[in-house]
Amino acid sequence: MSAFRLKSVISLSSLCLEIFCYGLLAACKDRGDELHLAVATDGAAGAVAGQDKTLAERRAAETKLALSLLAAPVLLGLPDGVLSGTAGGRQVVYDHITNVAPDLILTHAPEDYHTDHRALSSWVTELAGFNCPVLYADTLMGVGFVPDYYVDITNWQAEKRAAILAHTSQMPERFADGAALLNRFRAAQCNAPEGHYAEAYRSAARFPFSDIRAMIPPPPPYRPYYVSGAEGFL
């Protein structure tokens, strides 16, 4: 059992949690942390207008299956694609954070590509206030994201891929392949041995500073780095 409990994750729409932070969550689950998973939007905007009335229901079922090895997710059911303008949406997110009283919140990065993701990131960062630290997950393919932390997810890479592939309504192979490529790059970025995978994160800048290093699972092992002509390893 870890010295703390990771109690809340706020994510966006179906599939996002699995792409951006499944490995960290699986590592936390295995060490005994208490996970509370939330999916903010219903995923219904992924269909051509009016052509699939059951999409939200299908994506809810896919999400529950994909996350079944971690915890049963709370589906907040907010409208997909228009989160920033959804009346009462901010209050729904606030109520969830308040009810869970988390030790740490994971959410999207402020520079994420998706407007819903950026809206949720802003709300979560604001609503968390000084009550708990906020950790931003990597962006899709790492665009514009500079990490503070790397988490070794090698032992859970296959499980993460299977979770992404559970979202059969979203052509998930492209997301599974992209996530694996990004996670391999993040491992190489911190000089991990071949065959390792890592997820990248950044803490929300705030004062007073919160030291969350003990809360985050460890990074990949580092290879010694040798420069020809130097006296030893760097």
Do the beta carbons of residue 75 and residue 41 sit within 8 Å?
no
Q: Class of the 8-206 domain?
A: alpha beta
Do the beta carbons of residue 5 and residue 132 sit within 8 Å?
no
| Contacts for 90-96: CB closer than 8 Å, 24+ residues apart | 90/123, 90/127, 93/10, 93/40, 93/120, 93/123, 93/124, 93/127, 94/123, 94/127, 96/8, 96/10, 96/38
DSSP for residue 217: P
Residue 209: both structure tokens together: 């500073």
Q: Is the pTM of this model over 0.75?
A: yes
Residue 24: both structure tokens together: 């960290």
Per-position pLDDT tens, the chain of length 234: 344 556 666 665 556 899 999 999 999 999 989 899 999 988 877 654 455 778 889 999 999 999 999 999 999 989 888 888 888 899 999 999 999 988 899 999 999 989 899 999 999 999 888 888 999 999 999 999 999 999 999 999 999 999 999 999 888 999 999 999 999 999 999 999 999 999 999 999 887 778 898 899 999 998 876 666 656 545
Q: Quick one: pLDDT at residue 84? A: 82
